[in-house]
Every structure is written in structure tokens, then in C-alpha cells.
Structure 1
């Protein structure tokens, strides 16, 4: 799981979809107000939106599951998952969550789910089947559940939405990956523990293996970077080639921080353990490019 930086698309297709979603959301709210059962359509996963936004191999999701970061082979295999369930809620133990009355007492009426967020793009994430199926309508929180529009801002969810822009929701504050590719809760984070449990992030052998593979690739890039620095100080080697190698390494390592490679968190943990940051690579890349341009000039 990685923090995913979202820039809302600027296109006519997207804007039309947003308008349609807003209209359908308004209808859902009216239906609930009338005491009727809401019917949620497939509008939230409209084909062209799914292809250009959720399933694209480009940013923001790079064709990967937002939770386990596994590449998803094709568009048809991608589930569009509701972070906050659209219809009905269960707690972390699989028990149905019921509504509470105006006095705060639990009723026998099942929670409707976050129907008002059913078409909200900020509540939608691409997910693989192995993450989506066990999660389903499970959504544990600390304290009370939101029951109507807007109340969700006061919730304290135990799962992490990786596209949230809140620092408290940054997965790096709750999860990390050890040298064996095993993901663990950072500093005993309850939210980290819950993500591990619900998405089964350590219960699939191939996940740890893939994380280890990415870590080894990152370590090799670090060695390549270190060797390029040594070459730069060796009069027997080409200064121009050393700068080109340094630039290439810095760009590749910047790409890791930006999430362009699978299993980002595993690689980022390696980089941070070695004292690197995205800002360091970006600054060095700029410096080396300027020095190279002077040599070319």
C-alpha cells in the first residue's frame, strides 16, 4: 500500500461522468428520505472512466490494486471498490452494523451503507479480487458510524484510504516492509494492523516474494548510484558518462517514490533506510543535468 497522489482529470468525459454521478447521488438521497431502499447502478464504474482512470497503466494507479499494489492483468479483472461500502456495513468481525436512533441507542435496522458516496470518485479505488473479496462491506471504525451526508468527516476509520490527502492517512505512517518482504504495522499502529488483517497483506506468499524482488532491484540501483559517484572522481573514467549514469539512477529512484513501480512501499522502505528522499534525488538530478549540459556545451 502506498500513498497515491490524485489529480482530478480534466476532460469532457470525466466532467460528464461527475455530473451524472451528482445527479444519481441526489436521487439516492431523496429515495432514502422517502424511506425506500436505494438501488445503486453501475454508473460508478462506467466503462470509459474505468479504462482511462482506474485501469490505465499511467498515473495515478498505474494499473495496480490500490491496496496490495499487485499489477492487474486486464481491465476486466479490476474491481472498482468502495472504500466506504455503498450498501450495508459489517464490522471487523463480520457482524452487521445497525443504525442508531436519535438517542444513540442501537436499533434493529441495518445500516444503509454510505449510499451518498456510492458515486463519489474520492471513495472509489481499483482493487484486485484478493483484496476486494475479503473486505466486501467490512469497514471498522473507532466510535460511531456516519449515518447521513457529511457525517463521515467525523469518523475514525481503521482502514486507510491511500488517496486521502490527510497526513494521518498516509500509509507510510502506519505500515512498513521488512527485509524479507513482510509488511508490518509501524509502531503498533491499529490502522496498520487492521489493513494487514482485512486485506490479508501477509497471507499471500507471492506478495512477500514480489516485495523482496523489488527491494533487491532497488538495492542494485543504489549500488549503481554509488559506483557512478566513484566513477565521477576517477580521472580514468568518462565524466560525461558518469553524469549520465547518475541522472539515470536518480530518475529511476525518483520514479519509485512516485509509485511508478510495483510494491512501492517495499522499495521506499529500503531507500529511507539508506537516508534517501525523493527531494534528494530530484535535486541531484537537476544538478547533474546542469553539469552535463556544460560539458556538452
Structure 2
């Protein structure tokens, strides 16, 4: 997971918010709004979010088609499961059409049994009041890809399966990050199909490059190794690529820190 940049809010979304928010505020004056009250006009933002995120899910970084995938509400709109920190479960309905609350997500990360209406808060948080804008006194335990890089909280670790197998890459909390642990669990970033995709991606895209770099270093072709390293960074850590966070950690695994320092190979955060 890497940080995404939404860009400029579509004018159509601002217009929809002006009318829809007023409509639902009238409902909220007498009862708690439910899913059916909120409509789907926020989907006006779908294409803009898909383009801004380079056609990738904001959580798992898989490249996805625009259709049949979701406009995700980081703070759930109709109901919010805030456990373990908070037991109240009303949603953030007034943020339904707010650009800063919207993301593009694949259904495997966003729908049940994954995120859906889960929005864990840390103990001691104070839930936003109706109409209040984030963050207030809330302390989300879920990584917001629009405000922080998941690489700071999630590390991909290679787990070998045996002497003749390539092993799989598992997301783990980096340095014990609670946000990393919660995000992996909530979005199911370690589901079996993703683990297969992670492993295949590394074998096809990362390992051949690092093999070439290691060979050049072993043969004393330091200048060639540095050139190949720069090309690998430009390609694998390009935000348009799938699994940038995974590539970052795979590069670190195959060309470890001690080797990079010796040969002045810098591994930057994307």
C-alpha cells in the first residue's frame, strides 16, 4: 500500500453534495439515516478516483477495471464498527459525498468479509459529531492511503516453503505497527489469492532484476550494477506499477542494506 493523491475534486461531486447533503439532513432531523437514504450519487467520483489511483485498489494495489469495483468510503457512511475503541456504531453519513473521504477500492478489500463498515478506533478516541470534519479527536487504526504511506506500517516478508520452492510474501506489521496489523486484518491483505499474486509478481518482475544486479556486483561491474539498480527503482517503484510496497521490500530482501551501503545503492521510499 502506498500513498495516493486524489487531485482536484470533480465539480459534479461538489454539486451532488450540495443537494444530497441537504436532502439527508432533513431525514437526519427525525431519525438516523440508513444505507437506502444515501443513494449512490457519490459514484460520480468513480472515474476520477480510478484515474488518480493509477487504476489500482487503494489497499491491495492490484490493478483493477473501473466497472464492478467500488467507490470506498474511508469513514463508513451508514454504519461504522469502531471496535475495539468505541462501541457506538452510527455512520458518517454527512461525509458520503466528501472528496477527502472517498477512495477507489476492489471489492475483495472493501466488501464483506473484508472492510465493509469496519472503522476501528483506538481506545480513548472521541467520535466525530454529526457535521464535524475529520479528524477531530478520532484516532483511526486503519491506514488512510490518502494521508500516509502504508509502507511505513506494513512490511512484506518472504516465507520460504522449502529448499526448492520460491516461497510466499506475507504482509506483516512493520516494527510492530498497530495500524499495520489492523489494516492487514480488516482489508484481508493476506488472503490466499493475494499471496499467490504477490509471489508471482516478485518472481516475474523483481527477482530477475535483482539477480542481474547481484551478478554485476559479484563480477565487479559496479557501474553496471548501479545503472541496473536505478532502472529497477524507476520501474518497480513507479506509482503506476502494481504492488509498489511489495517491490520495495523485495528489493530490500534481495539486495540487503549492508550490500547497498557498500555499493552506494539507495533505496528510497516511493
Q: How does the TM-score come out when normalised to structure 2?
A: 0.75
**CA distance in 1: counterparts of 2:139 and 2:196, whole angstroms:** 33
On the 8 A contact 1:141/1:158 being kept in 2, the answer is yes
The answer to whether 1:183 aligns with 2:161 is no
Residues 88 and 97, structure 1, Cα contact 8 Å, conserved in 2: no
Task: Classify the secondary structure of the residue corresponding to 2:21.
Answer: helix
Alpha-carbon distance, 1:6 to partner: 3.2
1: CA distance between counterparts of 2:15 and 2:214?
51
| 1:86 partnered with 2:74 | no
Deviations 1:161-210 (A, max 9, x none): 1111xxxx3212211101231000111111111112111111x2221222
Aligned to 2:202: 215
Match of 1:155 in 2: 138
Which of 110, 130, 149 is matched with 1:132 structurally? Answer: 110
In structure 2, the CA distance between the partners of 1:230 and 1:187, relative to structure 1 (3 Å rule), is closer
Per the alignment, do residues 206 and 16 of structure 1 end up closer, same or farther by CA in structure 2, a change over 3 Å counting?
Answer: closer
Deviation at residue 120 of structure 1 after TM alignment: 1.1
Q: 1:260 and 2:251 equivalent? A: no
The correspondence of residues 20-35 of structure 1 with structure 2, limited to 5 A, is 20-32=16-28, 34-35=29-30
- Structure 1 runs of 4+ with >6 Å offset: 226-234
Q: Distance in 1 between matches of 2:178 and 2:227?
A: 40
CA contact (8 A) 2:13 2:97 kept: no
Question: Tell me, which stretches of 5 or more residues in structure 1 are unaligned?
Answer: 99-109, 282-297
Which residue does 2:150 correspond to in 1?
171
The separation in 1 between residues aligned to 2:238 and 2:7, in whole angstroms, is 13
What CA distance in whole angstroms lies between the structure 2 residues aligned with 1:208 and 1:136? 21
Query: For 2:83 and 2:185, how far apart are their aligned partners in 1?
Result: 9
Over residues 5-45 of structure 1, what are the superposed CA-to-partner deviations in whole Å (9 max), with x where a residue is unaligned?
A: 33226xxxx2233232244234434543x234432121111
Distance 2:171 2:66 in 1: 27
Alpha-carbon offset, residue 219 of structure 1: 3.0
- Asked if residue 19 in structure 1 is aligned to residue 15 in structure 2, the reply is yes
Structure 1 residues 96 and 257 mapped into 2: Cα distance closer, same or farther (>3 Å)? same
Give, in angstroms, the shift of residue 264 of structure 1.
1.5
Q: TM-score, normalised by structure 1?
A: 0.69
CA distance, structure 2, for counterparts of residue 87 and residue 149 of structure 1:
14
Q: State the alpha-carbon separation in 2 of the partners of residues 278 and 22 from structure 1.
A: 42
Structure 2, unmatched stretches of 5+, are: 159-167, 261-265
CA RMSD of aligned residues (A): 3.3
| CA–CA distance in structure 2, aligned partners of residues 207 and 189 of structure 1 | 21
The match for 2:4 is 4
Residue 96 to residue 158, structure 1, CA distance change in 2 (3 Å):
closer
User: 1:105 — aligned with what?
Assistant: none
How far 1:76 sits from its partner (Å)? 2.4
Q: Distance in 2 between matches of 1:62 and 1:156?
A: 28
> Is contact 2:237–2:244 with CA below 8 Å preserved after alignment?
yes
- Following superposition, the deviation at residue 67 of structure 1 comes to 1.1
SS at match of 1:75: coil
Which has the larger share of helix? 1
How many pairs align? 242
CA displacement at 1:278 relative to structure 2: 4.3
